[in-house]
Amino acid sequence: MVKILFEVDRLVIACIMQQNGIKDFGISSEKWNRILQGVCRKKDMMRIDEFRKELDEEQALATTLKETVEKKWRQNEQKVLAWLKELTRVDFRESTIRVCVVAFRAGQVPFRDIPLIVVGRIREGWGYPETITHELAHVLFNQNFRLPDEVTHPYVQLMEEEIAVRLGVRAKYFDYDIPAFAEWVRKARQKEKAWKQYLLHIKRFKDISQFIRENEEQAMSAV
């Protein structure tokens, strides 16, 4: 079974600060990808050493938050990982997934080709187990299927809803006020009926990608 490793990493903190528009370190997305894979040039390392010194406070805050995030995840880890495999019918292709904690609001997979999840402060009323579940589902999709994010994101949300209900943290799907920016959640609600049929007949499908392709084709033909 995959190992979920929690950590605080200044490089990841800086990358996500820049991606989220908090602070610009002047590093391109392509270069961040290389840096986080440990493949970067000597001059890049000199720049990294410079901004690392600027992140003492961010690192300390993230280290404190990490204790809470990891504790809440570990209480449900084995169940959630088993459910993810059940719902997708595939395994993680790498043995370790890194979960880097930041002190600001975040919940994302920065790069499709890196098994890295970033989690920070979350919206009031939401929990860390279902938030990490959502991002783990993205990693599973990235590792196993050639499907664009705009197609898969609503289905990832439906997986989050199902697991949140199983954990008992939501009484039903979408048991919260949907944020104005969360278009993928609204799309997920439109696909809920088809998703429930998938859950009833899951063994008919090789994996979740077959269901997604069939459901998307049916949706297109109905237009």
* Structural domain boundaries, residue 70: 3-222
Q: How many domains does the chain have?
A: 1
Per-residue pLDDT of the chain (223 residues; tens, 9 = 90+): 899 999 999 999 999 999 999 999 888 999 899 889 887 766 666 667 777 778 999 999 999 999 999 999 999 999 999 999 999 999 999 999 999 999 999 999 999 999 999 999 998 778 999 999 999 999 999 999 999 999 999 999 999 999 999 999 999 999 998 888 999 999 999 999 999 999 999 999 999 999 999 999 998 887 5
Closest CA to 155 of 82, 204, 216, 110: 216
Structure-token pair, residue 106: 């975040």
- 20: which residues sit within 8 A by CB, 6+ positions away? 104, 105, 106
Note the pTM of the prediction, 2 decimals.
0.93
Dist. CA 67–CA 88, nearest whole Å? 29
With beta carbons less than 8 A apart as the criterion, state whether 140 and 92 touch. yes
